[in-house]
A = this chain, B = another copy of it.
């Protein structure tokens, strides 16, 4: 199934010809004549990218973008007339992902659309990957480098954070020092095993400052460490 794209322009000629081209490229296109209709339509029938004319009756592209961005981070490409370069700057400043000046070649539009979509999906990959870890009183949010124990923040260094994350993401699972090393640095980094001990030491100490009864990082003699939930 093709990617769904909204096309908003008051010029019926553009609407028809561009939508034809896009459809022939495998996209599914929803056409709207003005911002207001588009806003309503998009609520019912979401798309993955919108191509907006800036100048339109009833609600122009700028205003539409603003309303859309209130609720979603939909990628947007603006269509601008050659003479109003001011609007271009404004549109981009507002958060458009790209813009094209009329007249434009259809091929260029398609290229831009593909580029914006690629960029957007890349961003989401980055965002979607790591989730929140919650194990009992421990809370970790890798996105924000946030770690808290019993609701109170614990300030960790990067290395400490990664090691604790590796342990807490699979509570109960035993990790030897090499595995923790791989988690903290990439693989193929060779360091003294005992370095891990140092980080564990600092981790335990930092959390114990707030809660002296903390003992969830367990040592397994001759094997490694594990996090007890």
Could you list which residues of chain A lie within 8 angstroms of chain B, going by C-beta atoms?
11-14, 16-18, 20-21, 42-46, 48, 69-75, 89, 92-93, 95-99, 102-108, 111-112, 115-116, 119-121, 124, 127-128, 131-132, 134, 139, 141, 143-146, 148, 151, 157-158, 170, 172-174, 220-223, 226
A17 B106 Cβ-Cβ under 8 A: no
Q: How far is the CB of A162 from chain B (nearest CB, A)?
A: 11
- Report the separation of the CA atoms of residues A166 and B86 in the bound assembly, to the nearest whole angstrom: 26
Given A13-B71, A98-B131, A172-B146: A157 in contact with B221 (beta carbons within 8 A): yes
Q: How far is the CB of A89 from chain B (nearest CB, A)?
A: 8
With a cutoff of 8 Å between Cβ atoms, the chain B residues found around residue A44 in the complex are 16-17, 20
B48 A20 Cβ-Cβ under 8 A: no
Q: How far is the CB of A152 from chain B (nearest CB, A)?
A: 10
Given A222-B158, A226-B145: A103 in contact with B17 (beta carbons within 8 A): no
B131 A111 Cβ-Cβ under 8 A: no
A48 B144 Cβ-Cβ under 8 A: no
A98 B132 Cβ-Cβ under 8 A: yes
Q: How far is the CB of A117 from chain B (nearest CB, A)?
A: 10
A121 B107 Cβ-Cβ under 8 A: yes
Of the A-B pairs whose beta carbons lie under 8 Å apart in the complex, a sample of 12, sorted by A's number, is A12-B43, A13-B43, A20-B45, A73-B105, A75-B105, A93-B139, A105-B120, A107-B124, A108-B128, A115-B131, A143-B173, A145-B223
